[in-house]
C-alpha cells in the first residue's frame, strides 16, 4: 500500500511570511495527525483529526497556525505569519482508527525560518 505523502519536503521562508504544508494519508485511515519535531526532541502533536473533525488541537498556536482536513482525506497545515521558532520538521501521520493503532508517518517537511 502507498504510504503517507507530504509536500513540500523542504521550505525556507523569512519570518512573517506564510507557508502551507500538504498531507495525503494512507487510504482508509480515519485518523490524521500533524506533529512538530524540533531538532533533538520528540514529536509534539499539533492537531489530530478523526475523519474531518478535530479531536485535539490543544497545542496548536491558533493565532498563527491553522489546519483543515478536506472531505476526511487530505489535510493542509498553514502558518501565518511564521516566527523563527517555527523552524522544525512537520510530520504528518495517519492511523486506521485512533491513537491505539500504529501511526504511519510521512517523510516530513523541513521548515527553516530565517
CB-nearer residue toward other proteins: 63 or 102: 102
The residue count for binding other proteins (CB under 8 A) is 21
Do residues 103 and 95 make contact, with C-beta atoms less than 8 angstroms apart? Answer: yes
Residue 4 vs residues 7, 13, 17, 50, 80: alpha-carbon distances, Å: 10, 24, 27, 16, 24
* 2 is an interface residue for other proteins by CB under 8 A: no
CB-nearer residue toward other proteins: 3 or 14: 3
* 50 is an interface residue for other proteins by CB under 8 A: yes
CB-nearer residue toward other proteins: 33 or 113: 33
Burial of 86 (C-beta count, 10 Å sphere; 0-12/13-18/19+): buried
Single out the residue of 16, 28, 98, 114 in contact with other proteins (rule: CB under 8 A). 98
Q: Contact region for other proteins (CB under 8 A) — 7-15, 22-30, 36-44, 63-71?
A: 36-44
Joined grid coordinates for residue 15: 519570518
How far is residue 44's CA from residue 89's CA, in Å, rounded to a whole number? 11
State how beta strands 44-50 and 53-56 pair: antiparallel
Binding stretches for other proteins (CB under 8 A): 40-45, 48, 50, 55-56, 58, 91, 98-100, 102-103, 105-108
Amino acid at each position: 500500500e502507498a504510504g503517507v505523502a507530504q509536500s513540500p519536503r523542504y521550505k525556507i521562508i523569512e519570518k512573517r511570511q506564510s507557508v502551507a504544508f500538504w498531507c495525503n494519508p494512507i487510504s482508509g485511515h480515519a485518523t490524521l495527525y500533524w506533529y512538530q519535531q524540533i531538532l533533538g526532541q520528540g514529536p509534539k502533536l499539533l492537531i489530530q483529526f478523526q475523519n474531518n473533525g478535530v479531536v485535539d488541537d490543544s497545542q496548536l498556536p491558533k493565532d498563527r497556525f491553522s489546519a483543515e482536513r478536506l472531505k476526511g482525506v487530505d489535510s493542509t497545515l498553514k502558518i501565518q505569519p511564521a516566527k523563527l521558532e517555527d523552524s522544525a520538521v512537520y510530520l504528518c501521520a495517519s492511523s486506521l482508527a485512533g491513537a491505539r493503532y500504529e501511526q504511519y508517518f510521512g517523510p516530513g517537511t523541513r521548515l527553516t525560518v530565517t
